[in-house]
Amino acid sequence: MSKQTAREETERLIREAMEKKGLTIKQGQTRIETKCGKCGAPNRVSAAPGETRVEFACKECGHKQRTL
């Protein structure tokens, strides 16, 4: 299945779901995987729709910083 075919199939399924009105499609929060700038520990941060830079504190060392 090519990317174009998959894209068309997804659009068709969304159109059918919207016609049935039994399914509500909404945009949720984005999850950002980032590393601490101080200790290098991996962190998972949630961001509201439309936000690209989010403030967070490292789960390992507590260093406060912003995502990229």
Handedness of CA 34, 67, 51, 3 (dihedral sign): negative
Paired tokens of 14: 């969304």
pLDDT tens, per residue, the chain with 68 residues: 789 999 999 999 888 888 887 667 777 888 989 999 899 999 999 998 888 889 999 998 989 998 87
Rounded Cα–Cα distance for residues 31 and 45 (Å): 6
